[in-house]
Amino acid sequence: MSLKKPSRTKRQQQKADTRATLLGAAHDCFAEQGFVATQIGDIARRAGVAHGTFYVHFDSKEAAADELLAAFNAELIGKLESAWPPEVEPRTGARALATVCLDHWQAERGLVAAFAERAGIDGSLAGLRDGISPPIVAFLAGRLRALAGDGLTDAELVAHGLLGLWTRVGLQFLFGNTPRERAIDTLAAMSVGALSAVILALQQKG
């Protein structure tokens, strides 16, 4: 027997709608003004609600940014999983991942800038260590284990290294003068090369 989930009350739905509106307003403010310049009052005005209403849903603008970042990364992981099924060979997979990742970042260029700005001023060791895409590490580590087998004992560490490389090249593409195709080619070649070198070194060590 299946149990129906209780439907939301009108008040609960209004609260959920207001929260979603605030998140949308925060997204637009961060993307247009940057993280530092955006004030809670800006978000409330954009959402069309009273200043205090923001605090009903979020403790701070950092909390709103955290929720936006989680959604950003979750969407990216979904795209990466579709772009690189486990059976696809590494070189093809690396190029597909690079394309998806750079295009996802490009579509949210302003928001990425805000995330990077926040990471730069955060000052915490955890923020510097994990960057703006920590969930991507778990995805990459899983794919690396599938490719390299049990011999790759430091899959998470290798994934962190690859993610650092992708972040730097991605930022050059978004905010520098690096053409899209060159960035994709570079990421794919360097990712496959780095992974091959790591696997070879481990085999030789073993």
Residue range(s) occupied by CATH 1.10.357.10 in the chain: 61-205
CATH superfamily of 61-205: Tetracycline Repressor, domain 2 (1.10.357.10)
Q: Measured between alpha carbons, how far is 125 from 13 in angstroms, rounded to an integer?
A: 39
How is domain 10-58 classified at the architecture level of CATH?
Orthogonal Bundle (1.10)
Q: Name the percent of the chain lying above pLDDT 90.
A: 49
The pLDDT-based confidence of 201 (bands split at 50, 70, 90) is low
Q: What pLDDT score was predicted for residue 1?
A: 42
pLDDT score of 76 more than 70: yes
Q: What is the dihedral of CA 178, 183, 189, 195, to 10 degrees?
A: 110
Higher-confidence position of 117 and 41: 41
Higher-confidence position of 124 and 186: 186
Closest CA to 148 of 192, 187, 104: 192
Phi-psi region of 149 (alpha: psi -120 to 50; beta: other; left: phi over 0): left
pLDDT score of 21 more than 80: yes
CB crowding 63-97: b at 16 or more within 10 Å, else e: ebbebbbeebbeebbebbeebbeeeeebeebbbbb
Higher-confidence position of 84 and 124: 84
Residue range(s) occupied by CATH 1.10.10.60 in the chain: 10-58
Name the burial class of residue 150, with classes exposed (0-12), middle (13-18) and buried (19+) by CB atoms within 10 angstroms of its CB. exposed
- Contact between 40 and 51 under an 8 Å Cβ cutoff? The reply is yes
pLDDT score of 7 more than 90: no
pLDDT score of 186 more than 90: yes
Predicted model pTM: 0.84
pLDDT score of 191 more than 80: yes
Q: Looking at residues 158-174, what average pLDDT do you find?
A: 89
Q: What pLDDT score was predicted for residue 192?
A: 84
Return the number of other C-beta atoms located less than 10 Å from residue 200's C-beta. Answer: 10
Candidate from 29-43, 92-106, 153-167 with smallest mean pLDDT: 153-167
Q: Measured between alpha carbons, how far is 157 from 173 in angstroms, rounded to an integer?
A: 24
Alpha helix stretches (DSSP H) within the chain: 10-33, 40-47, 51-57, 61-83, 90-107, 109-122, 125-130, 134-148, 155-175, 180-205
The pLDDT-based confidence of 8 (bands split at 50, 70, 90) is confident
Q: Does the CA dihedral 104-108-109-111 come out positive or negative?
A: negative
Q: Measured between alpha carbons, how far is 44 from 141 in angstroms, rounded to an integer?
A: 39
